[in-house]
Amino acid sequence: MSDSFIPISKPFIGAREKELVLDALDSGWVSSIGKYIDEFEANFARYCGTTYALAVSNGTTGLHLALATLGLQPGDEVIVPDLTFVATANAVAYTGATPILADIDADTLCIDPMSVKSLISERTKAIIPVHLYGHPADMDALMEIGAAHGVDIIEDAAEAHGAEYKGRRVGGLGKCGVFSFYGNKVITTGEGGMLTTNDQKFYQHARRLRDHAMSTQRRYFHEERGFNYRITNLQAALGVAQLERIEEFLGRRTEIMSWYNSEIATTDHIRLNRVKNWAKSAFWMICLEVDWLDVRRNAPRCIHAGTQSARHRYASLFLCDVVNADVQAGLATNLGPQVADRPKSALLLRTDES
């Protein structure tokens, strides 16, 4: 990789991260017991404004844990957006339930509540809005649909740490929220995740399931089938240090987004992330959405090949064999491979900056 190459994403690991991880190592508590896990959970819950937070091994296991806690089983249906990372649908499939694909909203690229409404059946047990690329889904409309049909909402907030919906941080709006701390996320623990909720019963059940459903009364007695979805104290130490700096990272992302906004003239055919007036985006991915013919005409002017990395947006799940979707193709399918995610590394500097 050349020195001038700008990666699409890069973790920012400083002195504080090293200090806390070394402290965790020196303590000897290297597995899933240790003060940093408690501290990370308490601090993250406070940050999201939720009563509880439960650290898990990654975002995918966090989603599965949430669905397992709700008791999902074969025959049940869970509505997910067509445009998301496949983990959202995979977690549903792990329970034996069927993911049902809803269409997306053209502006937010998040699940479209109208489409969700049309897909609700008596088998629907949950809806998983994904706060895609850091922009919150329209939660009020979804919560209303959920309440009308007795269906729980699980927020897939894997990409949206610190994003706000009508002034409230995501993760505390539905039954629970699930975050990822993979290396390219707003904050990282290497691998890791967090489940957030205000529901005490849900939290206690999820907490037991995270550790093989061991009885809280008798050690090594197991009341149901659980999992090992624990995080380590070493990862949590990194998480504590990263969370201390989250506002700095989010501020930097917003600043980088403003550079793209000021340097790229958007048209009907070339679009950057749009932010609803009720939303604060975490700008996890900066997306250049281009209609195919215009890419050929304009791409050389806005992408410096070889110096910046970019990636295509997620494929519509409708097109992925693994999802077995019994739905009509919608907007996400028809967008094709036209959205390119642009670098937004917290370290990215403007080339004209000293």
Binding site for ligand PLP (CB under 6 A): 58-60, 84-85, 87-88, 130, 156, 158-159, 180, 182, 193
Nearer CB in complex with ligand PLP: 270/285? 285
How far is Cα 7 from Cα 338, in angstroms, rounded to an integer?
20
Closest CB 231 distance from ligand PLP, rounded Å: 11
CA 159, 163, 166: angle at the middle one, nearest 5? 140
User: Dihedral angle at the C-alpha atoms of 70, 75, 79, 80, nearest 10 degrees?
Assistant: 90
Q: How many C-beta atoms surround the C-beta of residue 58 within 10 A?
A: 22
Closest CB 293 distance from ligand PLP, rounded Å: 29
Closest CB 128 distance from ligand PLP, rounded Å: 9
Nearer CB in complex with ligand PLP: 85/298? 85
Helix (H) / strand (E) containing 244: helix 233-244
Nearer CB in complex with ligand PLP: 36/85? 85
Specify whether the backbone of 132 is left (phi greater than 0), alpha (psi in -120 to 50) or beta: beta
Minimal CB distance residue for ligand PLP: 59
Closest CB 63 distance from ligand PLP, rounded Å: 6
Within 8 A by CB and 6+ apart from 342, the residues are: 8, 260, 285, 286, 287, 288, 308, 310
Nearer CB in complex with ligand PLP: 80/250? 80
What count of residues does the chain have? 354
How far is Cα 135 from Cα 30, in angstroms, rounded to an integer?
35
Q: How many C-beta atoms surround the C-beta of residue 297 within 10 A?
A: 11
Nearer CB in complex with ligand PLP: 44/182? 182
So which residues are the catalytic ones? 185
Closest CB 194 distance from ligand PLP, rounded Å: 10
Nearer CB in complex with ligand PLP: 182/203? 182
Q: What is the rounded end-to-end Cα distance, in angstroms, of the chain?
A: 22
Helix (H) / strand (E) containing 289: strand 286-290
* DSSP annotation string for 193-207: EEEEES-HHHHHHHH
In 207-230, which positions are buried (b, 16+ CB within 10 angstroms) versus exposed (e)?
bbbbeebbeeeeeeeeeeebbebb
Closest CB 337 distance from ligand PLP, rounded Å: 18
Residue type, 290: V
